Amino acid sequence: MKGMNLLHRIVFISNSVFALLLFTSYALPFVPPRSFPLLSVLSLSVPVLLIINVILLFYWIFFMKRAFLLSALVLLFGFQKLTSLYKFSGQKIENTETGFSLMSYNVRSFNLYKWISDDFIGEKIGAFVKTANPDVLCFQDFHTNGNSLIVNYPYKLEKLRGQKSKSGLAIFSKYPILKSGSLDFPDTSNNAIFVDLLINKDTVRVYNIHFQSLKISNEVNDFNDKNYELMTNRIGKAFVKQQKQLEILLAHKKKSPYRNIIAGDFNNTAFSYLYKTLKGEGLKDAFLDAGTGFGQTYNLKFFPLRIDFVLVDNHFDIQNFECFSQKYSDHFPIMTRIGL
């Protein structure tokens, strides 16, 4: 810090902290949450840490200071993380007749409890789905009040959270369902369901999953209030539950005789142990193949969080991918077209 004025010294110290946190986060995909629950929480901050280090890199370049090397080296070491955060362009493959489209959407019970001050959110979601017209539709936080809103899907699997519950997971399909089931995660209302679809004489297994919820408000001040420590502990425990749910899913997937697609609300990021482990099971991220931009799927102010995914068998072609901006829920819908 020799030769720096007071402002540069303060920035350099802050830069050192953010660079160290980012560098530490690179190890998180290899660390099971069960081993270090609180450390795993850092994975949620990776998008912000990347952006901060990029800003600091240009700060030092602007002032022509060698301190730019601090963030530059850390970012270079984790360059793949940057491509997971932001895609400048995605591949475009011509749609084929044998391909099909799939949408994943956490609809937050169609605004049943009036989180949004709009009495027609359910109808707007129904109209949006009708316009987007996906061949397969995976809903998380589904509520049975949405059954009348979703039309033109002759096949459906619905798994509610209990005998008296009207909410849960649902898969709507234009293709025949040959087999279906539920994984029934223990001690939670979160779950995963699957269907085997007959698509153009081929059979494909589609999982719709809602990993353990973090119960984070979509307001930024939830990260800064006096309950920060309690929230961090809660998220750490949720990540431990997610690891158990991941193990149940992987054990089930290994018995699948078909090519697989896993879609849903992961409640975790592309920088996590959960994502790395699941993607390493012969799957690829549809967004990384054909998406663009941040791919934000959770409506958190000033925080580009991508926690909803479509992972597909490596042998499938991703023809396109789209993140929609409709604010009918705390999540944004995503849709991809998959070539068989």
Domain hosting 191: range is: 100-339
| Reported confidence tier of residue 257, pLDDT bands at 50, 70, 90 | very high
Between residues 2 and 75, the one the model is more confident about: 75
| pLDDT confidence bin for 224, thresholds 50/70/90 | low
Structural domain includes residue 280: yes
pLDDT at residue 74, rounded to an integer: 96
Q: Check whether residue 47 and residue 162 sit in a common domain.
A: no
Which pLDDT does position 82 carry in this prediction? 86
Q: Are residues 35 and 181 in the same domain?
A: no
How far apart are alpha carbons 41 and 36 in whole angstroms?
A: 9
Q: Are residues 59 and 108 in the same domain?
A: no
Residue 91 within a domain: no
What phi and psi, each to the nearest 5 degrees, are found at residue 302?
60, 20
Residue 244 lies in a domain: yes
Number of domains composing the chain: 2
Residue 64 lies inside a defined structural domain of this protein: yes
| Residue-level pLDDT at 300 | 87
Is 39 domain-assigned? yes
Q: 94 lies in a domain?
A: no
- Which residue in 207, 156, 154, 155 sits closest to 182, CA to CA? 207
Per DSSP, the three-state class of 286 is helix
Identify the burial level of 224 via C-beta atoms within 10 angstroms of its C-beta, where 0-12 means exposed, 13-18 middle and 19 or more buried.
exposed
Q: Which of 85, 120, 135 is the last residue of a domain?
A: 85
Q: How confident is the model at residue 229 (pLDDT cuts 50, 70, 90)?
A: confident
CA distances from 207 to 14, 88, 101, 204 (A): 43, 29, 15, 10
pLDDT at 231 over 90: no
Shared-domain flag, residues 51 and 181: no
In sequence order, the 6+-apart residues with CB closer than 8 A to the CB of 257 are none
- The pLDDT-based confidence of 97 (bands split at 50, 70, 90) is confident
What is the domain-level CATH number for residue 125?
3.60.10.10
Q: 267-325, pLDDT tens digit by residue?
A: 999 999 999 999 999 999 999 999 999 999 999 887 889 999 999 999 999 999 999 99
Do residues 323 and 286 both lie within one domain?
A: yes
Q: Are residues 197 and 284 in the same domain?
A: yes
Give Cα separations from 194 to 13, 207, 307, 318, 332 (angstroms): 50, 4, 20, 21, 22
Give 148-204 pLDDT, tens digit per residue: 899 899 999 999 988 788 999 999 999 999 999 999 999 999 999 999 999 999 999
pLDDT at 316: 95
Token pair in block for residue 197: 């679809």
Q: How much is the pLDDT for 234?
A: 87
Contact (Cβ atoms closer than 8 angstroms) between residue 53 and residue 68: no
The mean pLDDT value of the chain amounts to: 92
CA distance 29 to 169: 27
Verify that 160 and 49 share a domain, yes or no: no
Whether the Cβ atoms of residue 305 and residue 47 lie closer than 8 Å to each other: yes
3-state secondary structure of 191: strand
Q: Answer yes or no: do 106 and 51 share one domain.
A: no
Residue type, 114: K
Residues 72 and 104 placed together within one structural domain of the fold = no
- Summarised one tens digit per residue, pLDDT across range 264-273 is 999 999 999 9
38-47, 124-133, 224-233, 249-258: the lowest-pLDDT one? 224-233
Residue 90 maps to a domain: no
What is each CA distance from 168 to 110, 155, 162, 192, 328, in whole angstroms? 12, 17, 9, 10, 18
Instruction: Considering only CA atoms, give the Rg of the chain.
Output: 21
> Dihedral of the CA atoms 265, 183, 132, 339 (nearest 10)?
100
Rounded to an integer, what distance in angstroms lies between the CA atom of residue 297 and that of residue 208?
A: 16
Order across the sheet with 155-160: list the strands.
155-160, 167-173, 136-143, 100-106, 334-339, 317-323
Residue that finishes a domain, picked among 55, 85, 115: 85
The whole-number average pLDDT for the span 219-238 is 72
261 class by beta-carbon count within 10 Å (0-12 exposed, 13-18 middle, 19+ buried): buried
Domain end point (choices 85, 117, 135) = 85
Mean pLDDT of 321-330: 96
Judged by DSSP in three states, 272 sits in: coil
Q: Do 264 and 305 share a domain, yes or no?
A: yes
Same domain, 148 and 281: yes
H-state helical runs in 111-266:
121-132, 228-254
What percent of the chain has a predicted confidence (pLDDT) above 90? Answer: 77
Q: How confident is the model at residue 247 (pLDDT cuts 50, 70, 90)?
A: very high
Q: Do 58 and 115 fall within a single domain?
A: no
pLDDT computed for residue 172 by the predictor? 98
Q: Which residues pair with 158 in a beta bridge?
A: 170
Q: Residue 143 domain-assigned? A: yes
pLDDT value for 125: 97
